[in-house]
């Protein structure tokens, strides 16, 4: 086979591969502006933060500053604090952790009153929101109440010049089933189309593909 024919054959083969890949890309429905179902709560307004590894906690013990402290949740979900050893706090609320610490401190202090606040948020993996692909800074973020797609794009620095933002995919668990939707990031960021500013929920994954030029 001559060199010219070999080149023509290779170009034809490459074109066929691209055509097959293009035809095999699934088309997902567009996500409505408001989506009531959530993986952890039936209503986003009812969201309660759960502590996860990497979180920084402030533990305040009323009238006992010597045992008040700031701690970081270990990768195994446990913390150590003054007079408190190896308490599992992962996926518990700050109020639940305060009750656990009060029970431990009661062995040494009469009627302890404990307040726990989260100083730095990481959260359990199932409550994080992940952005992958052609984001300027792909990352996992802790979900915050009333988070929207615009909030998420600001946090990751928007999309790259190679991104196909209007073919981005949102993967979400609804009623125990994984579902995927098309979202319009370019319309939101470039055209200011607020109809594209959908609600983000805990556990959402945003996949931003590269554009074909």
Q: What is the pLDDT of residues 34-61, one digit of tens each?
A: 443 333 333 555 668 889 898 999 999 9
Query: Token pair 């890949």 is at which residue?
Result: 21
Contact at 8 Å (CB) between 91 and 52?
Answer: yes
- Phi and psi torsions of 24, nearest 5°: -85, -10
Q: Is this structure's pTM higher than 0.75? A: no
Q: How many residues does the chain have?
A: 213
The span from the CA of 105 to the CA of 180, in Å, is 47
Which of 8-17, 29-38, 115-124, 177-186 bottoms out in mean pLDDT, i.e. has the lowest?
8-17
Across the range 80-95, mean pLDDT stands at 95
CATH number for 56-120: choose from 3.30.360.10, 3.10.129.10, 3.40.190.10, 3.30.1950.10.
3.30.1950.10
In the chain, which residues fall in CATH 3.30.1950.10? Answer: 56-120
So what's the pLDDT on residue 32?
A: 60
The span from the CA of 180 to the CA of 157, in Å, is 23
Domain 124-213 superfamily per CATH: Outer membrane lipoprotein wza domain like (3.10.560.10)
Across the range 20-41, mean pLDDT stands at 51
Across the range 93-122, mean pLDDT stands at 94
Sheet holding 114-120, edge to edge: 69-72, 56-61, 114-120
Q: What is the mean pLDDT of the chain?
A: 84
117-162 pLDDT per residue, tens:
998 888 888 888 999 999 999 999 988 888 999 999 999 999 999 9
Contact at 8 Å (CB) between 108 and 70?
Answer: no
In the chain, which residues fall in CATH 3.10.560.10? Answer: 124-213
Q: What percent of the chain has pLDDT over 90?
A: 64
The span from the CA of 72 to the CA of 75, in Å, is 9
So what's the pLDDT on residue 44?
A: 52
In the 3-class helix/strand/coil scheme, how is the chain assigned residue by residue?
CCHHHHHHHHHHHHHHHHHHHHHHCCCCCECCCCCCCCCCCCCHHHCCCCCCCCCEEEEEECCCHHHCEEEECCCCCEEEECCEEEEECCCCCHHHHHHHHHHHHCCCCCCCCEEEEEEECCCCHHHEEEEEECECCCEEEECCCCCEHHHHHHHCCCECCCECHHHEEEEEEECCEEEEEEECHHHHHHHCCHHHCCECCCCCEEEECECCC
So what's the pLDDT on residue 39?
A: 38
Residue 102 has pLDDT above 90, yes or no: yes
Q: How many CA atoms lie less than 13 Å away from 34 in the CB half-sphere?
A: 5
């Amino acid at each position: 086979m001559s060199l010219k024919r070999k080149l023509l054959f290779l170009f034809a083969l490459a074109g066929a591969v691209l055509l097959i890949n293009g035809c095999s890309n699934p088309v997902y429905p567009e996500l409505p502006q408001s989506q009531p179902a959530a993986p952890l709560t039936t209503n986003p307004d009812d969201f309660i933060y759960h502590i996860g590894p990497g979180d920084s906690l402030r533990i305040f013990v009323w009238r006992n500053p010597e045992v008040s402290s700031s701690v970081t949740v270990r990768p195994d979900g446990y913390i150590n604090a003054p007079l408190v050893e190896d308490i599992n706090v992962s996926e518990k609320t700050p109020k639940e952790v305060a009750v656990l610490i009060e029970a431990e401190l009661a062995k040494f202090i009469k009627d302890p009153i404990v307040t726990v606040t989260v100083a730095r948020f990481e959260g359990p993996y199932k409550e994080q929101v992940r952005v992958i692909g052609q984001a300027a800074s792909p990352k996992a973020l802790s979900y915050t109440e009333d988070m929207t797609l615009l909030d998420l794009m600001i946090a990751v620095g928007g999309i790259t010049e190679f991104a196909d933002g209007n073919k981005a995919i949102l993967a979400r668990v609804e009623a125990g089933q994984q579902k995927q939707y098309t979202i319009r990031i370019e319309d939101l960021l470039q055209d200011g189309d607020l109809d594209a500013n959908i609600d983000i929920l805990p556990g959402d994954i945003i996949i931003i593909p590269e554009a074909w030029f």
